[in-house]
Structure 1
């Protein structure tokens, strides 16, 4: 396995597992398949996978206590949720993470990090926008995604984390107070329902109907132009829609052959944003901007504004690109 595909899990950032894929796989033969709940015993009857006792499957992590999570990650993958009390999308995503960690019955432990109270961890995980989700496998961090993804997409990421963990010999199970993980736990409260048009958009994304998701977000914005979540959602799903069926090699070849063609350059910038290469995308569009006619400049400016929403308006890379765009405009 190399990296997760840029769509649809590339919303608000890229899923990048490349930092661990070159490590040698676990030497033990007959390791259990990643994601198979319950049975940690290899098919050949060898020793069962390790288990580790934890006070709960969902735990708060701090700058001072994170060492214990690094040790824990040698047995079971640790999902890290970087959040803040003031962050609206965090409140959408956190219940999804809680629910899935409980469903996997001890195959993961979830560590919640309040970025305001834990600056060292925030810096260590390079969390420039939140919510941000990472994993720790065998003591090594793996960047996953940024932003509030639908449950189905988060589940896909979890499955691939389990696959990567198995490749690195991390196949254990967490147990709560000596009992099978999840036994007797109080169910997490259901997340607050989304506004109707937002829910319609999420449902459409889950079934791969990006045109319907675009229509739902557009309706939400028409009803409330100040709905920033809808504005960001529209930018994200529009990017996903444009990337459907795109060939990386063809897109880059066309852009190299036509360095001043705005459509060709924006297509490469789409790929860069979806892959997490935000600075490259901004630089590409801003570099070609002065050579464009007015129609091309309008298209480039509109696309940059979409990228700003996708990356997050509080991201310092957005601030730098916005200043550069302003200088080019005036």
Structure 2
């Protein structure tokens, strides 16, 4: 199926999905407000008109990844939905997988202005952002999700969803707050306060205490990107880089900005090209900066693996 750009930024207009009390709802998964577990995972839910609104609201606690699919029109998109549901269990609540069968609930696809299937949309704090528009192998999907979760953690988004359908034991109170990892609390609080310096310091403590903590290392690398780009004028930075193609500081700054803007491949390519054009201390500086960006994205990410090969070619 031909893919088209997903171009609906901002909040979703849910007014079309408001129904009178007691009105029947269609689509798979209708039932309890939170939706029954889907795909064999306690962190996946089949989306219906009844639970769509509450699922969007759940993104205020932790990310929701909605996958839009159609087994009749594109069977491969159904497999992507199954894979996302399975991986939601591996990530243990770091995200909730919302499975949207557009044939069963076409009104939701219309409200979200879905151009084609498959489409995976990340919803954070009620804001939808396109994440994936292709069917990919589950290993590649796992790597992409790992990178996304690392970036969100570095930006202070570290809540966890409760398992779907779980109920507190008799005499226990329900946990109304996100189950954040307490190790990262200080760093995440600094990020929430827009204190990049504080976040760098806190993540550095974690890395010093446990160099094998990949999540802390990724958080540190991303916090450093935020630190370096704080208060930077994007247009001025790009103009400076265009006017000085071999200026390491100008090029690395734009690479940082590209990374924050989601243009990961552009950021990597800019620095690989810079390594090719420079030598001596300038080349070393460009290479070290690129390695830092690899850490921010995640060393197992396919884009990092590809860029590492390009870097090796540029160096040798």
- Name the TM-score, length of structure 2 as normaliser: 0.58
For residues 151 and 298 of structure 1, the distance between their equivalents in structure 2, rounded to whole angstroms, comes to: 26
Stretches of structure 2 lacking an aligned partner (at least 5 in a row): 68-77, 101-107, 123-128, 132-147, 159-163, 166-171
Match of 2:37 among 40, 47, 60: 60
Aligned residue pair count:
241
Name the counterpart of 1:321: 307
For residues 58 and 27 of structure 1, the distance between their equivalents in structure 2, rounded to whole angstroms, comes to: 20
* 8 Å contact kept, 2:221–2:293: yes
Does 2:291 align with 1:302? no
After superposition, the Cα gap between the structure-2 partners of 1:294 and 1:194, relative to the gap in structure 1 and judged at 3 Å, is: farther
Name the counterpart of 1:19: 7
- Deviation at residue 67 of structure 1 after TM alignment: 10
Where do residues 213-228 of structure 1 align in structure 2 (5 Å cutoff)? 213-228=199-214
Where do residues 89-238 of structure 1 align in structure 2 (5 Å cutoff)? 100=61, 119-121=79-81, 138-139=111-112, 140=114, 141=119, 142-143=121-122, 144=129, 146-147=148-149, 149=152, 154=157, 186-187=174-175, 191=179, 193-195=181-183, 198-238=184-224
Query: Which of the pair has the greater relative contact order for Cα pairs under 8 Å at 6+ separation?
Result: 1
Stretches of structure 1 lacking an aligned partner (at least 5 in a row): 1-16, 32-39, 42-46, 81-96, 102-107, 113-117, 156-175, 178-183
- Deviation at residue 189 of structure 1 after TM alignment: 8.1
* 8 Å contact kept, 1:258–1:264: yes
After superposition, the Cα gap between the structure-2 partners of 1:261 and 1:220, relative to the gap in structure 1 and judged at 3 Å, is: same
After superposition, the Cα gap between the structure-2 partners of 1:283 and 1:268, relative to the gap in structure 1 and judged at 3 Å, is: same
Q: Residue by residue, what CA displacement relative to the aligned partner does 1:23-67 show, whole Å, maximum 9, x if unpaired?
A: 997898xx9xxxxxxxx89xxxxx89x89664242653339xx99
- Name the TM-score, length of structure 1 as normaliser: 0.56
- Deviation at residue 234 of structure 1 after TM alignment: 0.7
- Deviation at residue 76 of structure 1 after TM alignment: 2.5
Give the root-mean-square deviation of aligned CA atoms. Answer: 4.9
Name the counterpart of 1:76: 53
- Deviation at residue 216 of structure 1 after TM alignment: 1.6
